[in-house]
Amino acid sequence: MKPFFVILICAVGISAHPGFDSLYTKYIALHQKDFLQNIQQSTSRDEHGKCSFGIENAVRLGLKSFSPAQQKMLKPLLERPVLETSIVSPSGFFRIHFNTTTNAPKYDVNELARAFDSSYSFEVNYLGFLPPPKDLGNGGDDKYDIYVYNMGRGVYGNTNSEEEISSGSSTYYSYIEMDNGFVGYPTTGIAAAKVTAAHELHHAIQIGNYILRQTETEIFDLYFYELTSTAMEEFVFDEINDYYYYLKTGGFFNFTDKAFASNEGYNLAIWNIFLKDKFDYGIIKRQWELLRTYRALEAINRSLIENQSSFLEAYKEFALWTFYTNYRAVSGLFFGEAVNYPLIKPFMTVTFTGNSIPINLNSFVTSTSFLKIINSTTSPKDTLYFNISNYEQQSGIYNLSKTLPVSITLSNFKQDGFTRLADGYYYFFSADNPYLWKTSSILNNIVVSDSQIVYAVTEAPYPSPFRYGKNVPLKIPFVGNFNEEVSLKVFSVSMDVVFNRTITLFRDPVKGEAVIEWNAMNDKNEKLASGVYLYFIKSSERTALGKLVIMNE
């Protein structure tokens, strides 16, 4: 089978080496204008210039679009390195290739071999991920190959895919390359080699067993590959902490308001650390199983729903965790290493001078905006933070530049429709689709209880679960007047609208309460698939948000 090459280059490093830049200058000079535009688009989201991931993949994935002569020139550059000798790791799974003279490793290769075995033991034996497939004899035998040499690229390592394991599987045999010294990197020597082993091994697991979904010029959901691999560094080698580097200037804590999927991934390792602490490691493995079918954001959301949560609910709590870092860190709560993390940078800072103040902002889809408000009327001055999180799945995958308008009106006295935060603090939240939002508030570094967007309290829908043929209709209690018209929207777990109509409230003859009666059919009068659904009810006076379960047997 003709080899298909992709490289996963991990930005656990510094700005690209000049030799590497010149190599890709030659690559670019070979090709036509329209392909260059694709390269520029695919690399425009790289934040720090520490990694040539976008260009490398654009060239490799677009290899077929080069002329035959250009392909002939490029292919030797994509072949495995030829090195002097090799050793086998104590487990017998890995073969590590290196030179003993020129460009010899500047750390103990035997210790590197043990690091790969430790990474395998944790990621495969403990977490339950499938092992990376052994190759087809490349490198001298079927052991998994690692090549250690002076990469000269300003990156710690690569995971390179080769032949597709079976036609149409989108999974690939692979091998790993890594630098021989890491001189001048944020982490150096054997410590850098260890985290690279944990990081790159998981890339090999990802593309060998789960999926590498791509077009000719783009790998989809790159951030998800990188956030998982970077988190593995911390999980396997907790004492090294190279991931701190990606939380600093230019990292997540300065740009929490970016769309989740527009992050470069290394800076999101803390998301998986949060998920592990909140739900256990199993949820991370489950997301990779779901990724075979769904895009990353939907896979994350579905895994959370299976754990009685959702992306929006979890992301709101994650925002609180990211607030309590550095000098705000609370021992025993939130991130275990929070004291070493930076402080979040507010999206906007506003001075409150009393009475009422409307605050309008546009938030990127699937993001968190930290709104900082300083009350100039108190002594000392109060500091209030609103953490505003949203989730819109389709745009969060396909339209990362989309923004959602939202408004918060803060008042120092009670008004109709306002929610009380504390004495002298009331707020009103307004958005076109309030069910896409969650808020929390922090006053003088203390979380304000019950400060989230308020929905009317309703009893659970019944019967639950609803079964077609046995239960007709489904009843959803709602506080309102009989014969009052209300809006009912029902969403799948991926936040696709399956039902959206105006319905008249009905008096339940048994319970005597106002209810919505719904036959659990979609807008096309078709039965729904079994699963969990979200509903949103709105009347002239109140709203309600809840979950229901449908069984289509």
Provide the b/e sequence for 169-185 (b: ≥16 CB within 10 Å). eebbbbbbbbbbbbeeb
pTM for the full model? Answer: 0.82
pLDDT, tens digit, 9 for 90 and up, residues 416-447: 878 888 889 999 888 888 888 888 899 999 98
pLDDT tier, 28 (very low <50, low <70, confident <90, very high otherwise): very low
Q: What is the DSSP string of 111-152?
A: HHHHHHHHHHIIIIIIT-PPPPPP-SSGGGSSSEEEEEE---
CB 55 within 8 A of CB 24: yes
CB 24 within 8 A of CB 32: no
Which residues 6+ apart lie within 8 Å of 25 measured at CB? none
CA distance 40 to 54: 8
Type of residue numbered 191: A
Sole residue written with tokens 């508030």: 441
pLDDT tier, 188 (very low <50, low <70, confident <90, very high otherwise): very high
pLDDT higher than 80, residue 21: no
Residue 189: both structure tokens together: 């020597």
CB 39 within 8 A of CB 217: yes
Radius of gyration of the chain measured on its C-alpha atoms: 27
- pLDDT for the residue numbered 5: 42
- Tell me which of 24 and 331 has the higher pLDDT: 331
Matching CATH number, 466-551, of 3.40.50.300, 2.60.40.3080, 3.90.1150.10, 1.10.3720.10: 2.60.40.3080
Burial classification of residue 413, based on how many CB atoms lie within 10 Å of its CB (0-12 exposed, 13-18 middle, 19 or more buried) = exposed
- pLDDT for the residue numbered 452: 58
- Tell me which of 162 and 292 has the higher pLDDT: 292
- pLDDT for the residue numbered 540: 75
pLDDT, tens digit, 9 for 90 and up, residues 276-305: 999 999 999 999 999 999 999 999 999 998
pLDDT, tens digit, 9 for 90 and up, residues 56-101: 545 666 677 777 887 787 777 778 899 999 999 999 999 999 999 9
Q: Which of 52-61, 177-186, 213-222, 288-297 has the lowest mean pLDDT?
A: 52-61
pLDDT tier, 39 (very low <50, low <70, confident <90, very high otherwise): very low
- pLDDT for the residue numbered 455: 58
CA distance 185 to 151: 13
Residue 244: both structure tokens together: 């701190």
Mean pLDDT of 307-334: 92
Sole residue written with tokens 């495995």: 80
- Domain boundaries in the chain? 6-221, 348-448, 466-551
Nearest CA-CA partner of 200 in 398, 8, 392, 423: 8
How many Cβ atoms sit within 10 Å of the Cβ of residue 134? 17
How many Cβ atoms sit within 10 Å of the Cβ of residue 308? 10
pLDDT tier, 145 (very low <50, low <70, confident <90, very high otherwise): very high
Mean pLDDT of 520-525: 90
Residue 365: both structure tokens together: 């889809």
- Average pLDDT of the chain to the nearest whole number: 84
Residue 231: both structure tokens together: 């988190």
In the chain, the percentage of residues whose pLDDT exceeds 90 is 51
- pLDDT for the residue numbered 59: 63
- pLDDT for the residue numbered 153: 65
